[in-house]
């Protein structure tokens, strides 16, 4: 593997951390380690979302930059008498990316390795082999011979199960392959925004947030935004990359390496026009690349943030990512760095007068 610089080490630590919805503690600790040096205060809300505050001008507009801590995974629901584990998906999974994949069960006694299995195709009828295996017919094999043996290793219903994958810098070193880019890249953006504001005059209070339980309904964004009461919100997340074979531009426009995505519309949010225009004007002024996209079938934390308090002008800014909601996803480092640069430059310009103008446009 290529030698990891400071940024790559942070990205590896964030993506290696294990945390499905409701089990974000490990990820929260990693994010806290990296963001605390650049924050004036780090707290959590009542559900466990991390909130790091950095003050430019006390009492200035509150700017919330939120990525979510959780990743899609599974939860153990039953252990059968032969030691096989039944599970529930936590977050959205497509069954075709799951079979024969390695997973880690996090138990009270430590980590246990497993593999997702099903009935082998060799004993299925020709007709059955043509159909995808349904998730309900899958199980996790940990090599146990009985329920008692599995429980003796610490496995218990309710335990978190996380995809296993090794963080990898590709031959093209801008291309980064890892599990959980959805949405540890958003957490990394929040960290680096606060880092880039070190020693910089800015006219507001900035909140870098790691929210919980985004994958099961944008829940932590709602509680953390209620605590912060932001004036402007950014949900930073992954988006769809439309540059692999078989995808038309009508289905997905964005390409990796061509800049962060400005989301016009998704199932949770119609982007705030005043904020959207302000951001693209800043990007155009500074020649920061960006792309537009619309995702009719998904949502981000921006969907919860904009409905909080008295209503918050909010925008989703995302990173074009291949193979999300699977064991391994890929993104482009330039898109991450340009997203940070754009958000920092926007924050520098968000004084009270500007925020009021955006809000009431």
List, for residues 307-322, the tens digit of each pLDDT value: 998 999 999 999 999 9
The DSSP annotation for 246-315 comes to: T--TTT----TTS--EEEEEETTEEPPHHHHHHHHHHHHHHT---EEEEETT---THHHHTTSTT---EE
Report the sign of the C-alpha dihedral through residues 171, 175, 176, 179, in that order. Answer: negative
**pLDDT tens by residue, 272-295:** 999 999 999 999 999 999 999 998
pLDDT, position 359: 87
Q: Domain locations in the chain? A: 6-71+179-359, 73-163
* Closest by CA position to 326, among listed 182, 169, 142, 138: 182
d(CA 9, CA 188): 11
pLDDT, position 199: 92
Please give the positions annotated as active site.
214
| Helix, strand, coil percent content, the chain, rounded in steps of 5 | 30, 25, 40
**What Cα–Cα distance (Å) separates residue 224 from each residue in 28, 262, 305?**
14, 23, 9
CB distance 69 to 28 below 8 Å = yes
**pLDDT tens by residue, 212-248:** 999 999 999 999 999 999 999 999 999 999 999 999 8
pLDDT, position 349: 97
Q: What is the mean pLDDT of residues 91-113?
A: 97
pLDDT, position 337: 98
pLDDT, position 120: 83
d(CA 348, CA 186): 20
Looking at every residue in the chain, the average pLDDT score rounds to 96
Indicate whether this model's pTM tops 0.85: yes
**pLDDT tens by residue, 37-58:** 999 999 999 999 999 999 999 9
- 191 pLDDT higher than 80: yes
pLDDT, position 295: 85
pLDDT, position 251: 86
**What Cα–Cα distance (Å) separates residue 333 from each residue in 72, 175, 181, 186?**
22, 6, 12, 13
pLDDT, position 125: 83
Please give the CATH number for the structural domain made up of 6-71+179-359: 3.40.630.10
pLDDT, position 1: 56
pLDDT, position 361: 67
The answer to whether the 6-71+179-359 and 73-163 domains have the same CATH topology is no
pLDDT, position 249: 84
Please give the CATH number for the structural domain made up of 73-163: 2.40.30.40
Q: What is the mean pLDDT of residues 339-357?
A: 97
**pLDDT tens by residue, 107-159:** 999 999 999 999 888 887 888 888 999 999 999 999 999 999 999 999 999 99
């Amino acid at each position: 593997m290529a030698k990891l610089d400071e940024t790559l080490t942070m990205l590896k630590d964030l993506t290696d951390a294990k945390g499905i919805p409701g089990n974000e503690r490990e990820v929260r600790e990693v994010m806290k380690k990296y963001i605390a040096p650049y924050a004036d205060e780090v707290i959590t809300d009542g559900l466990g979302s991390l909130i790091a505050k950095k003050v430019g001008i006390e009492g200035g507009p509150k700017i919330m930059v939120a990525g979510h801590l959780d990743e899609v995974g599974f939860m153990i629901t039953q252990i059968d008498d032969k030691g096989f584990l039944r599970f529930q998906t936590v977050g959205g999974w497509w069954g075709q990316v799951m079979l024969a994949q390695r997973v880690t069960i996090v138990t009270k006694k430590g980590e246990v390795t497993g593999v997702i299995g099903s009935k082998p195709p060799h004993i299925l009828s020709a007709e059955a082999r043509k159909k995808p295996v349904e998730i309900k017919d899958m199980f996790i094999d940990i090599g146990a011979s009985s329920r008692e043996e599995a429980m003796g290793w610490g496995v218990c219903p309710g335990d978190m199960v996380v995809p296993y994958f090794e963080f990898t810098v590709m031959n093209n070193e801008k291309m980064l392959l890892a599990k959980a880019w959805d949405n540890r890249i958003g957490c990394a953006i929040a960290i680096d925004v606060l880092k880039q504001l070190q020693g910089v005059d800015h006219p507001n209070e900035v909140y870098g947030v790691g929210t919980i339980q985004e994958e099961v309904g944008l829940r932590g964004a709602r509680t953390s935004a209620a605590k912060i009461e932001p004036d402007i919100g950014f949900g930073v997340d992954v988006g769809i990359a439309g540059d692999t074979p078989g995808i038309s531009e009508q289905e997905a426009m964005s390409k990796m390496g061509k800049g962060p995505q400005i989301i016009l519309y998704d199932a949770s949010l119609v982007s705030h026009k005043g904020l959207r225009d302000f951001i693209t004007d800043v990007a155009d002024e500074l020649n920061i690349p960006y792309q537009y996209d619309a995702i009719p079938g998904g949502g981000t934390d921006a969907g919860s943030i904009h409905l909080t308090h008295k209503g918050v002008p909010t925008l989703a800014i995302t990173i074009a990512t291949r193979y999300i909601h699977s064991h391994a996803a890929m993104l482009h480092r330039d898109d991450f760095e340009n997203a940070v640069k754009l958000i920092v430059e926007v924050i520098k310009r968000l004084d009270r007068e500007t925020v009021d103008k955006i809000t009431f446009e």
